Amino acid sequence: MKRLWAPWRMEYIRNNKSAGCIFCLGEQHDRDSENLVLYRTSLSFVMLNRYPYSNGHLLVAPCRHISDLNGLSGEEMNDLFGLVRLATNVLGATASPQGFNIGINLGKAAGAGVEEHLHVHIVPRWHGDTNFMSVVADLRVMPENLQASYDALLPGFSAAR
């Protein structure tokens, strides 16, 4: 049997998933780095996905705990998708991806990992970013750690303030 050493996965396995909503951060601005939050408005925020599909995988969520697009006000909808555009632009300028997967999973059947708080996934993509590991082992290789991704993206978001 071959083994792949991935000690960072233990954090996910041990993580207390009943500790509350990962998107309900309130006014914890002093913990933005710890929570991987890159940018905030009064209505929405952008954060790095702690368990990404690829480097730079971002999540954009409304501050208000809501699970449905129909529950968003017009102002919240505009703010949320304004941040999706900003995040895509920052990723484009910082990481030079050749494309993006942008999506919302509404409900468990659609693949929502956190179905009670609406959020948008922005996954940067590059030609050849999947390799034999994805096909043979159903595994992704992440070439950069989260803190390095956060540090690389933060100046782009800071410039947008």
117 counts as catalytic: no
pLDDT tens digit sequence for 127-141: 877 654 454 455 555
Q: Which of 160, 159, 157 is nearest to 37 (CA)?
A: 157
Q: Which of 29, 65, 117, 119 is catalytic?
A: 119
pLDDT tens digit sequence for 17-64: 556 788 888 777 788 999 999 999 999 999 999 888 888 999 999 999
Is the CB of residue 152 less than 8 Å from the CB of residue 37?
no
Two tokens at 9? 């996965």
Is the CB of residue 23 less than 8 Å from the CB of residue 61?
yes
Q: Which distant-in-sequence residues (6+ apart) come within 8 Å of 49 by Cβ?
A: 36, 57, 58, 59, 121
The reported pLDDT for the residue numbered 135 is 46
Instruction: Output phi, psi for 153, to 5 deg.
Output: -85, -30
The CATH homologous superfamily to which domain 39-159 belongs is HIT-like (3.30.428.10)
Is the CB of residue 89 less than 8 Å from the CB of residue 82?
no
Q: Which amino acid is at 85?
A: R
Kindly list the domain boundaries of the chain, sorted by start residue.
39-159
Provide the mean pLDDT of the chain. 84
Is the CB of residue 101 less than 8 Å from the CB of residue 92?
no
